[in-house]
Amino acid sequence: MRIKAIPLAISAIFATAGHAADSGEATITLGEVSVHGAAGPLTTHSILTSVDILGGDQVATKNVANSWELLGQMPGIQLTETRMGAESGKATFRAFNGEGYINGIKVLIDGIPSNVNSGNQRFIDMIFPLDVEYIEVVRGTNDPRYGLHNIGGNINLGTRQGGNYTDGRLSVGSFNTREVQFALGRESDGFAQNYFVAKQDSDGHRDHSRSEKYSLGGKWFYTTADNHLKLGLTARLYEHSAEEAGYLTAAELAANRKQSPSKNANDGDDRDMQQIAAHLDWQIRDGLMLSNRLYYNRYLDDRKITFTSYTAGNAPRQRRQWDETQTGLMSTLTWQAGPALTVDGGFNLERQDNEYRRYRYIYSDPTNFSATPARIQNDDQYTFNNVGAYVQMIVKPTSDLKIVPAFRVDRFSGNTRLNSTGVSAPLQDYGWINQPKLSVVYTLSPGAHLYANWGKTFQVLTGSREPAYLTPGQSTYKPSINTGKEIGIKVKPLPGTEARLALWQQDATDEVANMPSTGTTVGLGETRRKGIDLQLTSRLSERWTVWVSHAVQEAKVVRAFTASGAPLAGKEVFSTPRFITNLGTDYRINGDWQLGLQGRAQGKYFIDDMNAKGKYGGFAVLDASLRYNLTPKASVDLQIRNLTDRKYEYVWYDNFFWGGSDQPMFSPAPGRSGYLSLNMKM
């Protein structure tokens, strides 16, 4: 990776840094974020570095098939666009890919943990654009608040709370897409209630890819007159039924990008998710704040999938069923001892009671998944429990220097029962996993902040069987410890303009590529991820805003676990593009018309562990939007996605870790598509 130009770039940015006032230390914000002055825990941007915030105004009017796509306009975010029914894709960053083997990104909704057991991000789809207040991304290893899945950072989707509004959005568009969203907020005398409902139907951009989903949400909060106590309840319900078009071989892709092979005629997914959380924020006295979150997550999934051309004896047709329940408590206590010292600490408890079933069927075209399976590969019940605690101090020895030392510990326990054999086994015993962290921010001038951070995070194995659980004959695994470090500078060279440049590296020991749903586990050994992040956002005038980001990244295996895995040393971690670029502009032509353009691009990536099957997956796409205000409370917008009709695909290698057909498989992305929406405020 070439970094010779970095010192010159830092010097050039610093030379312009003294012309503006501070705006949140090392945080970059795009759009507007509402701030509610009530009791609550410390804000993320007041503690951490490398934080990006996307305001709800940049999200509310976006037409997307799946909510993870909203993160595509944020810096350095890789979108893995599988687009297989409800299993549609994932957003990742810091050179962690979205294949599902190493799920390195923690997801939260209103501060509530929202990953499934494997670490996948399926709960994101519960949130629709009109209900988003902000999206917050924390990169790196220095955030002590979260342990499980928080390997490379975390994403928090904050939804609308409080306020008085009645908003609706009706959309129609390509692929026979119909969508309705309705959001209602009422607040008076300290009581706030917010409701949301959404329904989306689409025939999909390929044959046999119909999708129907809906989401319901309610939030009720009471805040005392002195703002010292805030009590609340949030509840969400989501259902999704979708067909799966299946992956295409290279020959099938060349013949017809929109086809669905006949073998996939019965493939699909039915997914239900629920989330309920109770919130309590209490300012006990001046400078002392207690915050609690008690939550319940439920995830039900019934997926029918057909692989490519396995032999009949392998029973390649599969029906996978998940039933996962998470209950948890998060509690933090914050003490502001004085202007120079704040102490923040807390603990979390989470218990998971899960079931996983995998049925396999012999080859048939199409497959009847209601028939008796040829083999029951999984019929498992398992628990997975986490206890974690952290403490951090925000120390300000001078007005220009902030030091944040932190320490976190986590411990895991659980048991599994394999009903098909009667075998029971405990979870791997990792002991207490220690995670020291340190962040430093130095204010060079009112508009320039130099920052650095260092910290450790971890990966533990998940799933219902070995190697996550110590079934007879299973060897022990250590937790994979990730040590990250970063140095960067954030400047505000002009009013309304923010820029940030960062160099980072993250080294992991004992990293494991683990796919619980397929029973696939391969020890990668020591890995190194490193990169350069550059981003700029500028409000050039009252009418014109532009933003651009470019992330260069690399993920390699440094040393393999065993001699048999030695050839992996020096190889790039599969499905990790070397660069990710975003750029966009919003231009208000006059009081009634607004034009928007957004482009994103990423490089090609190796699709196999040995880097021998070629590079795929690169693209550059451009989206456009035009909005017209009919009245002060009504507007229409036209959005064209993939304006240039760029043909690109998500690609994976069949027979990557297990017996298959030894060829790349393709999931083509949608071509040019258009959507017309009516927005109403009542």
CA–centroid distance for 84 within its chain: 18
Q: Which residue has the higher pLDDT, 36 or 105?
A: 105
Asked if residue 582 has pLDDT above 80, the reply is yes
Tell me what pLDDT residue 6 has: 34
CATH (residue range 6-681): 2.40.170.20
Measured between alpha carbons, how far is residue 91 from residues 56, 122, 280, 548, 574 in Å?
18, 11, 30, 18, 16
Average pLDDT score over the chain: 91
What is the distance between the alpha carbons of residues 61 and 594, in angstroms, rounded to a whole number?
Answer: 12
Tell me what pLDDT residue 13 has: 33
Contact predicate 193/166, CB 8 Å:
no
Q: What is the mean pLDDT of residues 568-572?
A: 90
Instruction: Record the tokens describing residue 636, joined without a space.
Output: 């229409």
Q: Which residue has the higher pLDDT, 681 or 313?
A: 681
Place of tokens 């949400």: 217
Asked if residue 577 has pLDDT above 90, the reply is yes
Place of tokens 């954030």: 490
- Identify which of 675, 671, 621, 637 has the alpha carbon closest to the alpha carbon of residue 174: 675
- Identify which of 381, 377, 270, 276 has the alpha carbon closest to the alpha carbon of residue 324: 381
Tell me what pLDDT residue 40 has: 54
Predicted confidence (pLDDT) per residue in 514-564, tens digit: 887 777 777 888 999 999 999 999 999 999 999 999 999 999 999 887 655
What is the distance between the alpha carbons of residues 569 and 494, in angstroms, rounded to a whole number?
Answer: 46
What is the distance between the alpha carbons of residues 490 and 14, in angstroms, rounded to a whole number?
Answer: 9
Q: What is the mean pLDDT of residues 153-181?
A: 97
Instruction: Record the tokens describing residue 469, joined without a space.
Output: 């659980």
Domain spans of the chain? 6-681
Where helices occur in 114-244 by DSSP H, the ranges are none
- Identify which of 127, 59, 6, 149 has the alpha carbon closest to the alpha carbon of residue 502: 6
Tell me what pLDDT residue 362 has: 84
Where helices occur in 167-271 by DSSP H, the ranges are 250-255
Contact predicate 436/456, CB 8 Å:
yes
CA–centroid distance for 238 within its chain: 18
Q: What is the mean pLDDT of residues 23-34?
A: 70
Asked if residue 3 has pLDDT above 50, the reply is no
Predicted confidence (pLDDT) per residue in 638-674, tens digit: 999 999 999 999 999 887 444 456 889 999 999 999 9
Tell me what pLDDT residue 662 has: 81
Predicted confidence (pLDDT) per residue in 7-24, tens digit: 333 333 333 333 333 335
Half-sphere exposure of 242 (CA within 13 A, CB side): 29
What is the distance between the alpha carbons of residues 663 and 667, in angstroms, rounded to a whole number?
Answer: 13
Instruction: Record the tokens describing residue 459, joined without a space.
Output: 């990966």
Q: How confident is the model at residue 471 (pLDDT cuts 50, 70, 90)?
A: very high
Contact predicate 141/455, CB 8 Å:
yes
Tell me what pLDDT residue 554 has: 97
Percentage, residues of the chain above pLDDT 90:
81
Predicted confidence (pLDDT) per residue in 122-149, tens digit: 999 999 999 999 999 999 999 999 999 9
Predicted confidence (pLDDT) per residue in 182-221, tens digit: 999 999 999 999 999 999 999 999 999 999 999 999 999 9
Tell me what pLDDT residue 419 has: 96
Contact predicate 94/553, CB 8 Å:
yes
Q: Per the confidence metrics, is the pTM higher than 0.75?
A: yes
Q: Would you list the DSSP string of 377-414?
A: EEEEEEEEEEEEEEEEEEEEEETTEEEEEEEEEEEEE-
Helix (H, G, I), strand (E, B) or coil at 68: helix
Q: How confident is the model at residue 568 (pLDDT cuts 50, 70, 90)?
A: confident
Q: How confident is the model at residue 41 (pLDDT cuts 50, 70, 90)?
A: low
Contact predicate 645/632, CB 8 Å:
no
